Structure 1
Amino acid sequence: MAQDYSQFSDAALDKELAAKADVQLYVMVPMRDGVRLATHVYRPKGVTGPLPTILVKTPYNEMPYKAGTTRSALDAIKHGYALVLQNERGRYYSEGEWEILGHPQTDGYDTLTWIAKQSWSNGKVGTRGCSSTAEWQLALAGQNHPAHAAMVPQSSGAGIGKVGEFQEQGNWYTGGVPRNLFFVWLYGVDNPLRAQPPKGLDSKTIARLARYNDLEAKKPEVNWPTQIRHLPVNEMLQDLGEPKGTFEELINRDGPADPAWRKGGLYHDDKGWGVPALWFNSWYDVSIGPNMALFNHARTVNSDKEASDNQYAIVTPSNHCGFNARSLQVPYKSGDRDMGTVNFDADKEVYAFFDRWLKGDVNAFPKTTPPVRYYSMGANSWKQSAQWPPEGSAPMKLYLRSSGRANSLAGDGKLTAVAPGAGEQPDRYAYDPTNPVQTVGGGDCCNGGLVIAGAFDQRGVESRDDVLVYTSEPLTEPLEVSGFVRAFLKVSSDAKDTDFAVKLVDVGPDGTAYILGDTIMRARYRDSYDKPAMMTAGQTYTVKPTPITTSNTFLPGHRIRVEVTSSNFPKFVRNLNTGGDNEKETKFVVANNALHHAAGEESYIELPVVGRK
């Protein structure tokens, strides 16, 4: 039986590593410009033949003598791999200046070249990681390095610039609205005043120095629920005493179409794709939509047919990077909702995939493996498909209707397959930026506790008069919704610019309203990110927010619900409604907004229903 290192003490792990591994610490790997990156190499002890290699590259402080690092090394060695663990440029003992995504266009490529030249390497490298240890892999895959034999990107959406209908620029935006999570994340990660060791130190000296100084910055604690309200937004971190850095560079860009987004390490869909990949995603992650859109792109771009023919996706009902949690092996709960026993072993899938592509074991991960395996919530069961959305899915149009009083749960909003007639009155509400609708669950991550992701009950939110609520009749049979959920809204406002936010909710027989997903669109970008346009009072516009991506089976007795409002804070930056440069302003106006739904001005959603008769 294979050794399980999860319960080993730190001392036992150190002893096991000494017995099982040959370890080189703080190897300073040179890049093409002479900058050296701090790198650990772990190899099975006494193995002389060439080895397949797993490369993990990270901006985080994973390297200095940590139990988690040791477990990862022992797991790789147990499966017959060398593990190379590297800090990104400008992080800890790696030289140079840090840039978000770690210079993937050059540093990732140069590291693969270095590994392939080592006497212990068989010339085949697999990249692996979750979140920031995954995102840099995407642009690297577009370069198709000959040693890059396979990749396992997990929760990698912040590495995606534009793909298909998603133009989020590394999750900085949704529908042109900045997300607050990166402001918190950059405060912790970006450190323009970081301490640096003297240049030119040898590996042995650096390894000894790291024993008692790991260069981990200890920044002051921040009251984020208060600080996240700071105006102007672009001075939020400077208000804490921080020097200007990555945050200021990104927040001051001119929206999602700013050409500067093309100059960094983001992957855009005008690039090719050259690497077989096993994608891990989560329904309550920050960017499940772009992740699945990139999976589809990698399958169809055909710049490297073998790579496009070998793309596989696994989607769990967890939060960001949650598929690695042992809790998925027992009855799993997301937010307020029981998800059943997911019973999923991520590591088993990862090593089977690597065995196929790095060792040539064609039986380890056979061609008969379904391209998509996804967990359908509600039904609480695994399903599989040859594509995403699943084959056999078809759009179901449900109209948002009322008699003009859909405000809150107490209103008369309904969701129906019957199109509205003439004369239905619009639903109206006032959006005040000083009193935004509070975020409760949904997809998010990495925000210092501002938002807890997951399937939380929305009834508290739905009690507000500035939230429009549209609910179907109870279903009489199961309805699987799997794919991209699209909203089409007819709206007007007396403000020059405002936001429109949408949620999809599963309402149980007891009234519990579980969020499935949410989205938002800044009205100025309704036609184009390249040419934003203000609104004119009294004029009706069509707004099509970025799709919600999910799989949920609405069970008999359950109802489908859609919420519409103009804020979702603190997940998304508040629109101040002036039509100006929103992230540089301190003044605001209240927006009086309306959702129209009479004949000729229908507002509706399209649900991708699987197996609809």
Structure 2
Amino acid sequence: MRRLALLLCGLTTLVTAPAVGAQAPTPADSARLATYERREVMIPMRDGVKLHTFVFTPKDQQGALPFILTRTPYGIGGAAGNFITSYAEMADERYIFVFQDIRGRFDSEGQFVMLRSPRDRKDSKAIDESTDTWDTIDWLLANVPRNNGRVGQLGVSYPGWLTVMSMLDPHPALKAVSPQASPASMFIGDDFHHNGAFRLAYGFEYVAMMESGKGMNRFAFDKVDNYSWHLENGPLSNIDRKYFKGERPTWNDFVAHPNFDAFWKREALAQYLDRVNVPTLNVGGWWDQEDFYGPLTIYQELEKHDTKGINYLVVGPWNHGGWRGRSGQTLGNIDFGSETAPYFRRTIEAPWFAYWLKDKGSLSLAEATTFESGTNEWRRHEAWPPKQNVGARRLYFHAEGKLAFEPPPARDPKPYDSYVSDPAKPVPYRARPILATFGPGSTWSQWLADDQRFVQDRPDVVAWETPALDHDVTIAGDIVARLMAATTGTDADWVVKLIDVYPEDHPKLGGYQFMVANEVLRGRFRDSYEHPKAIAPGKVTEFKVGLHTQNYRFQKGHKIRVQIQSSWFPLIDRNPQTFVPNIFKASASDYRAATQRIYRSPTLSSYLQLSIVTPNPIVP
């Protein structure tokens, strides 16, 4: 299972924190770091393997303190950088911080197994991430003086996943955990696939960078425009022949496992989330470009078993790990009105850990705390999705590109909108030129906030839009698109975007089209991820596309827009639009243009179902 090495951190986050190296330390940062001393140790596991670990202890420690533990596969050499921003608030609070290379990585001994499955408990000699965490905590309690016998664990992305593994079979001293931006399924919604659609640019660059030697060897593109480069490569079947030649294990796994088989099921977290043993603070970002599906899924699966009321959720206006950065006020051109990252760390995360690890203060945190963009305010909920003061409403597609809460009229001589999707001319996912995902100057981390006007005039993109709103419309909860559609092909991708259109007279963002939510569904997986099937040409078929969940206010004077297309390149690989058993093995002749129809009659209506906060005036 060498397959997924750096993906979970998304290459946008350092070992245990965001790119703190890009942030110049302030005098306060330097002073904070100077108050800690570092000890380097090799901690023995039950099978004799020793794990490389740094222990940071306050020099002015005056009493027994709890531990904050972060385990990572990405090296702890830069762990001190966490004191600059990422863990600054807790560092000021005073803890014993522990950073550890997991087995087989960097200076730790043993064999690295990516996303190591939980052990067979009947095997007394079996190990997994839970046993390694257990053994680490045992050693810390016995060998680090003046600890209070309590441990908290957290991490972003892969370290977040390691936190989940630790909480499934926790050491008695593990009293609080915070999995942050942890993936939950690499096929259904995180990193490498979304609803079975392969994330081409991300996956290709990961393989080239992580499996071309020991270092971080970025692929040397000979074109600035990543769109042109991938398009000229032709079908996916050319990639291995041209570049990898059977020598990249991860790419080989992609090719061998195009469906949701045992390979992908093994790493899906839902099957393991059948108990809540430790207070859990799940954290995610509304515009996480890599792992948004994971945090919400983990929270919701745990919630099914939370009998003690100790499962919490926080979602803010962030990209992947953005809450660990300096500000969190902006994402691309969008300004959220305040420094949300330090606010989260100062008012939510630090007090939450202090309560469970130090018996400090009272626990006033709501079960779910979300940032409502648009109003740019934090909201408290008894659950997520909210169960009170929210109602499901449908935004129907109408003729002439209109979008309304009323169903379409009965009489319409042409009850559909159509477009031709041509794999030879796929819709780009960003304005061109599209830079390499992880190359110099990349703005991959903010692409979800890009202005969507760059594709509005393409003939292979269709959209529906409300008039300017005469009242605010607030959504809080799940978003689902129901498409009644037909294709002349035998397979199709459906990309759905929910967009906030700013007024033309907005002082800074006149006419800006801000993508509030989005997702892609590979049509072959409409009924089953495990057993794909062709689409009957010309037959009207129902496709449901989940756009996950959001808390957002469309303000008076703005417009709500829904956009649909059948390619999103090279974010997503091109669908041949001809059903083949394995798209990774498709030939050039399999890629064919197809005419897509989106129906909008009373009996074949297409719509976006939103969770509307009530009482809330509806668009007339």
Shorter-chain TM band = 0.7 to 0.9
Q: Does the alignment pair 1:113 with 2:135?
A: yes
C-alpha distance after superposition, 1:38-77 (max 9, x if no partner): 2112223475965421111122233257644687788755
Deviates more, 1:69-78 or 1:241-250: 69-78
- Which residue of the partner structure matches residue 322 of structure 1? 322
Look up the equivalent residue of 2:585 and give its one-letter code.
K
| Local SS of the residue matching 1:252 | helix
Aligned pairs for 1:420-439 within 5 A? 420=408, 421-423=410-412, 424-439=414-429
- Which residue of the partner structure matches residue 44 of structure 1? 58
Look up the equivalent residue of 1:378 and give its one-letter code.
G
C-alpha distance after superposition, 1:483-512 (max 9, x if no partner): 111100011111111101100001122132
| Local SS of the residue matching 1:547 | strand
- Which residue of the partner structure matches residue 150 of structure 2? 124
Structure 1 residues 222 and 586, CA gap change in structure 2 (3 angstroms): same
Q: Does the alignment pair 1:548 with 2:548?
A: yes
Contact 1:273 1:298 in 2 (8 A): yes
Aligned pairs for 1:121-520 within 5 A? 121-156=147-182, 158=183, 160-161=184-185, 168=188, 170-180=190-200, 182-184=202-204, 186-187=206-207, 190-191=210-211, 193-194=213-214, 216-219=215-218, 221-222=220-221, 224-225=226-227, 228-229=230-231, 230-233=233-236, 236=239, 239-241=242-244, 244-264=247-267, 266-268=269-271, 271-286=274-289, 287-302=291-306, 305-306=307-308, 309-328=309-328, 332-345=329-342, 346-348=344-346, 349-361=348-360, 363=361, 366-390=362-386, 391-402=388-399, 412-420=400-408, 421-423=410-412, 424-440=414-430, 448=439, 449=442, 451=444, 452-510=446-504, 511-520=511-520
Structure 1 residues 535 and 8, CA gap change in structure 2 (3 angstroms): closer
Q: Within 2, Cα distance between the matches of 1:397 and 1:176?
A: 26
| Local SS of the residue matching 2:498 | strand
Contact 1:88 1:102 in 2 (8 A): no
Gap regions ≥5 residues in structure 1: 195-215, 403-411
Deviates more, 1:335-344 or 1:547-556: 335-344
| Local SS of the residue matching 2:318 | strand
- Which residue of the partner structure matches residue 569 of structure 1? 569
Contact 1:139 1:265 in 2 (8 A): no
- Which residue of the partner structure matches residue 100 of structure 1? 114
Look up the equivalent residue of 2:338 and give its one-letter code.
T
Deviates more, 1:175-184 or 1:586-595: 175-184
Q: CA deviation at 1:22?
A: 4.3
Q: Within 2, Cα distance between the matches of 1:9 and 1:382?
A: 28
Look up the equivalent residue of 1:610 and give its one-letter code.
V
Structure 1 residues 473 and 446, CA gap change in structure 2 (3 angstroms): same
Aligned pairs for 1:576-587 within 5 A? 576-580=576-580, 581-587=582-588
Q: CA deviation at 1:549?
A: 2.0
Q: CA deviation at 1:373?
A: 1.9
Q: CA deviation at 1:582?
A: 0.9
Look up the equivalent residue of 1:413 and give its one-letter code.
G
Contact 1:503 1:517 in 2 (8 A): yes
C-alpha distance after superposition, 1:135-162 (max 9, x if no partner): 2222332334433221122222x2x039
Structure 1 residues 478 and 428, CA gap change in structure 2 (3 angstroms): same
Contact 2:525 2:532 in 1 (8 A): yes
Contact 1:63 1:87 in 2 (8 A): no
Q: Within 1, Cα distance between the matches of 2:27 and 2:338?
A: 30
Structure 1 residues 419 and 21, CA gap change in structure 2 (3 angstroms): closer
Q: Within 2, Cα distance between the matches of 1:548 and 1:270?
A: 20
Contact 1:477 1:556 in 2 (8 A): yes
| Local SS of the residue matching 1:292 | helix
- Which residue of the partner structure matches residue 525 of structure 1? 525
Q: Within 2, Cα distance between the matches of 1:9 and 1:178?
A: 42
The TM-score, its normalising length taken from structure 2, stands at 0.81
Q: Within 2, Cα distance between the matches of 1:336 and 1:49?
A: 46
C-alpha distance after superposition, 1:421-460 (max 9, x if no partner): 254432111111221111139xxx9755374424222112
C-alpha distance after superposition, 1:318-343 (max 9, x if no partner): 21111222223xxx333333322244
Q: CA deviation at 1:543?
A: 0.3
Question: Which of 16, 23, 30 is matched with 2:38 structurally?
Answer: 23
C-alpha distance after superposition, 1:291-320 (max 9, x if no partner): 223212222323xx33xx122222221211
Q: CA deviation at 1:380?
A: 1.9
Q: Within 2, Cα distance between the matches of 1:337 and 1:107?
A: 39
Q: CA deviation at 1:542?
A: 0.3
- Which residue of the partner structure matches residue 557 of structure 2? 557
Structure 1 residues 70 and 471, CA gap change in structure 2 (3 angstroms): closer
Q: CA deviation at 1:35?
A: 3.4
- Which residue of the partner structure matches residue 202 of structure 1? none
Q: Within 1, Cα distance between the matches of 2:103 and 2:229?
A: 30
Q: Within 1, Cα distance between the matches of 2:245 and 2:76?
A: 24
- Which residue of the partner structure matches residue 212 of structure 1? none
Look up the equivalent residue of 2:164 and give its one-letter code.
L
The TM-score, its normalising length taken from structure 1, stands at 0.82
Q: CA deviation at 1:466?
A: 0.6
Question: Which of 565, 589, 592 is matched with 2:592 structurally?
Answer: 589
Contact 1:497 1:578 in 2 (8 A): yes
Aligned pairs for 1:47-58 within 5 A? 51-58=65-72
C-alpha distance after superposition, 1:570-600 (max 9, x if no partner): 2222212221111222421112211111221
Q: Within 1, Cα distance between the matches of 2:407 and 2:475?
A: 21
Structure 1 residues 545 and 489, CA gap change in structure 2 (3 angstroms): same
Q: CA deviation at 1:560?
A: 0.8
Structure 1 residues 436 and 326, CA gap change in structure 2 (3 angstroms): same
Q: CA deviation at 1:513?
A: 1.6
Q: Within 2, Cα distance between the matches of 1:577 and 1:585?
A: 11
Contact 2:426 2:569 in 1 (8 A): yes
Gap regions ≥5 residues in structure 2: 1-20, 120-127, 505-510
Give percent identity, aligned residues only: 26
Structure 1 residues 98 and 252, CA gap change in structure 2 (3 angstroms): farther
User: CA-atom RMSD, angstroms?
Assistant: 3.2
Q: Within 2, Cα distance between the matches of 1:177 and 1:341?
A: 36
Look up the equivalent residue of 1:94 and give its one-letter code.
S
Look up the equivalent residue of 1:392 and give its one-letter code.
N
Structure 1 residues 7 and 506, CA gap change in structure 2 (3 angstroms): closer
Structure 1 residues 33 and 192, CA gap change in structure 2 (3 angstroms): farther
| Local SS of the residue matching 1:538 | coil
Q: Within 1, Cα distance between the matches of 2:259 and 2:273?
A: 16
Q: Within 2, Cα distance between the matches of 1:74 and 1:283?
A: 23
Look up the equivalent residue of 2:180 and give its one-letter code.
Q
Structure 1 residues 464 and 126, CA gap change in structure 2 (3 angstroms): same
Contact 1:104 1:140 in 2 (8 A): no
